[in-house]
Structure 1
Amino acid sequence: MEKIKKYFENDRFADLAGIEILEIKKGWSRVKMNITEKHLNGVGIVHGGAIFTLADLAFAAAANSHGNVSVGINASISYMKAGKGKILMAEAQEVSRNPRLSSYTVRVTDEEDDLIAIFQGMAYVKKDKISLTG
C-alpha cells in the first residue's frame, strides 16, 4: 500500500489543505487534517469545502487501493455537526466494487469521535494501473 500512498503525494490540492494519509488497505483508508485558521469559514467553523476535500481524499485513496486508476464520478455529503475541533479524521470503506464501478462511504469525525459528516462516493475503475512514473 506504500505505492498507493506515494501516488497520492502528487495530489497538490490535498497537500495545500494539509491532509495526511495515515493508512490504506484494500478498499479502505484513513486520512487526517489538522484544523488551522485557513480551514475556517466566516462564522468560525470548519468550512464545508475543507470537510468535503478531506472526505474526497479518503474516498480516492480507498478507490485506488486495488491498484487501478479510479476517478470519482459522483459524490455527495451530509453535514451532521459543525466542525469546531482541532483535528478531523476521515475513514473510507468500500461498499461495493465491480470491474468498472466502486462505491464508498466515508465517515468524517473529530478528535472526540463525534460524527461531523457522511460522504458517499462512486468511482469509475479504469484499466490503467497506478504508476509512480507519471
Structure 2
Amino acid sequence: MTPEQRARQVGETMFAVDTASKDTMGMELLACEPGRALMRMAVTPLHLNGHQICHGGFIFTLADSTFAFACNSHNRNTVAAGCSIEFLRPAQAGDVLTCEGLEQTLSGRHGIYDMRVSNQRGEVVAMFRGKSATIQGNVFPEGA
C-alpha cells in the first residue's frame, strides 16, 4: 500500500464514523493525503452567534477536524496534545469555509500541523496550529 493509498483509506475509515464532523457540523472531507487534509463546511444560520456571525467554536471545530485527518493520515492513532487558534475575520451565513491542514514536522511521537481556514473568496478566516501525540494502535489494520 502506498502512503497515498494509506492516507485515503484513513480518511474514508475515520470519516465514515465521524458523526460530529459529518452529521452534526455538515463537514465534507475533500482530501486526505500523507500529512495533509482538506475539509469544507457551509456556514448555516445554525452556526451563527449573537452577533450573527459564525461562532468561533464552529470554525475551531472545522480546523480541529482537519487536524485530526492530517495527523492520522499515516495510519497511526494520533490525538491532539495542544492547539491554538487565531481568528482573523468573521464568517457569515452562506459562506463556504475550506480548511487545509499541513504537517510541518513529525518527530517521534509528536507532530506540528498548521490549518488555514479560508472563505469562498480565498480570504483567511482563521489560522490554527496543533501539536499531535501518537498513541497505540492504527486507524485500520494493515498487513497480515
**TM-score of Structure 1 vs Structure 2, range by shorter chain:** over 0.9
With structure 1 as the length reference, what TM-score do the two structures score?
A: 0.93
Residues of 1 paired with 2:136 and 2:8: CA distance?
21
- Aligned twin of 1:107: 116
Q: Secondary structure at the match of 1:4?
A: helix
Q: Secondary structure at the match of 2:129?
A: strand
* CA deviation map 1:93-134 (0-9, x unaligned): 1011012001100000000000100000011012311127xx
Question: How far off its partner does 1:8 sit?
Answer: 2.4
* CA deviation map 1:16-50 (0-9, x unaligned): 11111100110011100011111111111111000
Structure 2: state its 5+ residue gaps.
1-6
Q: Which structure: greater strand fraction?
A: 1
What percentage of aligned pairs have identical amino acids? 32
Correspondence for 1:4 among 7, 10, 28 = 10
Query: For the aligned residues, what is the CA RMSD?
Result: 1.2
Q: Which has the larger radius of gyration?
A: 2
Residues of 1 paired with 2:47 and 2:11: CA distance?
23
Structure 1: state its 5+ residue gaps.
none
Q: How many residues align?
A: 132
* CA deviation map 1:67-89 (0-9, x unaligned): 10100010110000111252000
Residues of 2 paired with 1:28 and 1:47: CA distance?
25
